[in-house]
């Protein structure tokens, strides 16, 4: 009984980080109907940012957060100008192809520099014990940080002037343009935020699990599952759906081989999409 409780709690902790990662995807999706296929690679970029700062320089792992956040934002703005800007308003398949090709370039560069070796970042933090079970300190801290970042994104979108502009553009781009919102700049900032969040989520995942340059695929798939569960373009839904996915993963892991976990998650993705085409917590118009 305690074992089940422990795996549920750990699922919630890891799920918060999955939810944060998916928020980055769903933000871009909701605002401009662009599916960012570099999402997985941006998560991995966060992991390697962590590795570079923590292992090569010797800085404490969590100090990597601000540089990853800023680097991710800049990378996102660059991504917008290179691959997304010309695609906004064109059929979504074209932006799918353009971000896919950027992803190929990044993966090609990454594998030729780092190979496909396994990397690991050691985080020494005291854990929290519950009977026979210990929750690693890294899991707890990652979940807390994920929740904080998610909350600040929420506040940014709801309260700040720029955040309101982002929501206005998501709601109706032309009307937003008419009332004087610089939509192009807002779109670029949105992609920047989405990628920065993906990068930070990757950095947090990097403190939990070992990773390779190709780990992005599986985390990207998880983000898609979470996005589908939480409703497309609905960041708050994504956070709760992330927790649900984490709990599911914790509950399933003892019973099936690891390579099947992704398949089960994928089946869930298809099932959700077939039954609830807009996602379970289907976004009201302008839920963002």
Work out whether 88 is an interface residue with other proteins (CB under 8 A).
no
- Matching residue, tokens 């600040």: 152
DSSP state of 52: I
CB of 252 to other proteins, least distance (A): 14
Residue among 6, 12, 94, 162 that touches other proteins (CB under 8 A): 94
The Cβ of residue 170 has, within 10 Å, a number of other Cβ atoms equal to: 25
Contact with other proteins (CB under 8 A): which of 89, 251, 260, 286? Answer: 260
271 neighbors 229 (Cβ within 8 angstroms): no
Q: For other proteins, give the closer residue by CB, 83 or 283.
A: 83
Q: Does 96 bind other proteins (CB under 8 A)?
A: yes
Q: Using CB under 8 A, which of 35, 53, 123, 169 touches other proteins?
A: 35
DSSP string, 216-277: HHHHHHHHHHHHHHH-TT-HHHHHHHHHHHHHHHHHHTTTS-HHHHHHHHHHHHHHHHHH-T
Answer for which of 5, 105, 118, 175 binds other proteins (CB under 8 A) is 105
DSSP bridge partners of 135: 128
Please name which of 9, 81, 40 lies closest in space to residue 262, comparing C-alpha atoms: 40
Task: Using the minimum distance from each CB to other proteins, give the nearer residue, 129 or 259.
Answer: 259
Q: Which stretch binds other proteins (CB under 8 A): 5-13, 54-62, 88-96, 167-175?
A: 88-96
Q: How far is the CB of 78 from other proteins (least distance, A)?
A: 13
Give Cα 258 to chain centroid, integer Å. Answer: 21
Q: Residue from 3, 86, 127, 210 that binds other proteins (CB under 8 A)?
A: 86
Check binding of 109 to other proteins (CB under 8 A). yes
* Sequential DSSP letters for 115-172: TT--B--------EEETTEEE-HHHHHHHHHHHHHHHHHHHHHHHSHHHHHHHHHHH-
273 contributes a contact to other proteins by CB under 8 A = yes
CB of 133 to other proteins, least distance (A): 29
> Considering beta carbons, is residue 74 or 104 the nearer one to other proteins?
104
Contacts 24+ apart (CB under 8 A), 87-91: 87/34, 88/32, 88/34, 88/187, 89/173
Using CB under 8 A as the binding rule, whether residue 224 contacts other proteins is answered as yes
Place of tokens 């709990």: 247
Selected binder of other proteins within 221, 252, 280, 282 (CB under 8 A): 221
The answer to whether the beta carbons of residues 64 and 203 sit under 8 Å apart is yes
Residues that bind other proteins (CB under 8 A): 35, 82-83, 86, 91-94, 96-98, 100-109, 111-112, 217-218, 221, 224, 257, 259-260, 262-263, 266-267, 269-270, 273-274, 277
């Amino acid at each position: 009984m305690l074992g089940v409780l422990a795996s549920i709690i750990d699922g919630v902790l890891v799920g918060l980080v999955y939810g944060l990662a998916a928020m980055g995807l769903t933000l871009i999706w909701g605002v401009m109907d662009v599916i960012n296929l570099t999402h997985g690679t941006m998560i991995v970029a966060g992991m390697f940012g962590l590795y570079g700062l923590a292992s090569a320089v010797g800085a404490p792992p969590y100090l990597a957060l601000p540089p990853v956040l800023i680097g991710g934002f800049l990378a996102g703005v660059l991504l917008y100008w290179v691959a997304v800007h010309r695609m906004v308003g064109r059929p979504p398949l074209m932006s799918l192809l353009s971000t896919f090709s950027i992803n190929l370039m990044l993966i090609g560069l990454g594998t030729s520099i780092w190979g496909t070796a396994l990397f690991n970042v050691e985080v020494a933090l005291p854990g929290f014990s519950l009977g026979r079970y210990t929750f690693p300190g890294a899991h707890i801290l990652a979940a807390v940080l994920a929740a904080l970042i998610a909350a600040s994104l929420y506040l940014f979108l709801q309260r700040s002037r720029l955040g309101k502009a982002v929501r206005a553009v998501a709601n109706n781009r032309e009307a937003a343009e008419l009332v004087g919102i610089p939509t192009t700049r807002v779109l670029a900032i949105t992609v920047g935020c989405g990628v920065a969040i993906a990068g930070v989520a990757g950095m947090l995942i990097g403190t939990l699990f070992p990773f390779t340059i190709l780990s992005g695929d599986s985390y990207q798939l998880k983000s898609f599952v979470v996005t589908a569960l939480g409703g497309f373009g609905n960041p708050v839904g994504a956070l709760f759906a992330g927790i649900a996915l984490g709990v599911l993963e914790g509950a399933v892991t003892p019973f099936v081989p690891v390579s099947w976990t992704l398949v089960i998650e994928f089946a869930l993705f298809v099932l959700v999409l077939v039954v609830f085409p807009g996602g379970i917590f289907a976004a009201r118009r302008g839920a963002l």
